[in-house]
Amino acid sequence: MFNITVRDTYEEVSREAAEIMLNVVKGTEKPILGLATGSSPVGLYQEMIRDHKENGTSYKDIITFNLDEYCDIPKDHEQSYWTFMHENLFNELDCPEENIHVPAGNLEDEEQACVDYETELAKYSVDVQVLGIGSDGHIAFNEPGTPFDSLTHLMELTEQTRRDNARFFLDENGDPDMDQVPKFAITQGLASIMRAKKIIMIATGLNKADAVYGMLKGPKTEDCPASILQDHPEVYVFLDNDAASKL
Ligand code: GLP
């Protein structure tokens, strides 16, 4: 079931998404948070940090699980999702490092890493999961064609996703460098994500409009991985006017 909010600005989208998140954080004894990378949730994370600093909301008892990680770069690479999460959220909160889970993408045995991550995740019940959406309708790194019953797995990234993410991998002239963009990722599967009790989906910008349409109004198909959310009982979708322009 979708609860859709359309706002004029990214700031409003982020503020309202943060209300859902903060209600869970403040109203749950030991909240389990599912977190995402990408530019979409950065404003939401800023609101969480602001609330923590201004109101003293504690994150000492939270446990977090991230969705995904690139495979062929080290954990401390400036573009790893581990680094992203620390720079954009964890370093600013009082969340113990041992409570943070980000898939390990740089291991000898990545198949085993997938099984281990899924096993750890399955011990918990995620109270709220943050999601963005790729321009091809992917969620986490579940590209079109990923089975709806997938668990944590390795994914070869599509050309479109690698092109979208090339803006973060720059050459010495500051231009996007496709050669540096990883080709594989470890990602929670679609079935893993669907177990979350609540989902916050944030999408802004014209390049998301087709994917947003596919998620909300299109047929439920593995060609648009986000369309699986049509079966979830509680999805809060926050859009700006551009992302909502095809609805
Ligand atoms: C990557 C991430 C996704 C994210 C997507 C969109 O592919 N794995 O979790 O939703 O990018 O990113 P952005 O929010 O920067 O548009």
Q: How far is the CA of 212 from the centre of ligand 1 (A)?
A: 13
Q: Say what the pTM is.
A: 0.97
- Does the active-site annotation cover 138? yes
Residue 7: pLDDT band (50, 70, 90) is very high
Q: What is the pLDDT of residues 155-195, one digit of tens each?
A: 999 999 999 999 999 999 999 999 999 999 999 999 999 99
User: Considering 52, 69, 77, 138, which one is annotated as catalytic?
Assistant: 138
Q: What is the pLDDT of residues 113-154, one digit of tens each?
A: 999 999 999 999 999 999 999 999 999 999 999 999 999 999
User: Considering 47, 127, 136, 240, which one is annotated as catalytic?
Assistant: 136
Please provide the average confidence, as pLDDT, over all residues in the chain: 96
- Does the active-site annotation cover 143? yes
Cβ < 6 Å from ligand 1: which residues? 36-40, 67-68, 132-134, 140-141, 161
Shortest-distance Cα residue to atom 10 of ligand 1: 132
Q: What is the pLDDT of residues 66-113, one digit of tens each?
A: 999 999 899 999 999 999 999 999 999 999 999 999 999 876 788 899
- SS3 sequence, the chain? CEEEEEECCHHHHHHHHHHHHHHHHHHCCCCEEEECCCCCCHHHHHHHHHHHHHHCCCCCCCEEEECEEECCCCCCCCCCHHHHHHHHCHHHCCCCHHHEECCCCCCCCHHHHHHHHHHHHCCCCCCEEEECCCCCCCECCECCCCCCCCCCEEEECCHHHHHHHHHHCECCCCCECHHHCCCEEEECCHHHHHCCCEEEEEECCHHHHHHHHHHHCCCCCCCCHHHHHHHCCCEEEEEECCCCCCC
Residue 16: pLDDT band (50, 70, 90) is very high
Q: How far is the CA of 39 from the centre of ligand 1 (A)?
A: 7
Q: How far is the CA of 38 from the centre of ligand 1 (A)?
A: 4
pLDDT number for residue 72:
87
- Does the active-site annotation cover 68? yes
Q: How far is the CA of 31 from the centre of ligand 1 (A)?
A: 24
